[in-house]
Amino acid sequence: MPFKNWSNKNRGHQNLLEQYLRGELNDGTLSRGQAMDYKIAEHLAHPEISPDMQLRDVFLLAANCEMHSHELYLALAGIHPQGEVKRPLEWLASQELEHKQRVEFLYTEVAFPQTDVG
């Protein structure tokens, strides 16, 4: 059987992920306030604006707007040397990424609602 060690490897992955979930891994972890970019807006088709848009499409559209704002501020920060101009642009980029994260979370809540079995 080519995958004879799969179950042992799988248990190792499970143990590692459970440690991570319990907060037992500390070195190199993300800070609580750091935004995660799930890249939902980048991988789904950009919805067309219409009066009868579904709520999930409104959230996807908003995520795209936040994504483009994030990219704009990053690009502007990228052309400046370290200093008084670059720092606020990087901060603005991080804020837009946080907004994108929030809107993508709302998108997932609407597009993939929890059921009693999942």
Tens digit of pLDDT at every position of the chain (118 positions): 344 444 555 666 677 767 767 777 666 665 666 677 778 888 888 889 999 999 999 999 999 999 999 999 999 999 998 988 889 999 999 999 999 999 999 999 999 887 655 5
Cβ-in-10-Å burial (0-12, 13-18, 19+) of 112 comes to exposed
Residue 103, Cβ density class (10 Å: 0-12 exposed, 13-18 middle, ≥19 buried):
buried
The SS3 of residue 87 is: helix
pTM of the predicted protein model: 0.66
In DSSP notation, 20-58 reads HHTT---TTPPPTTPPP---HHHHSPPPPP-TT--HHHH
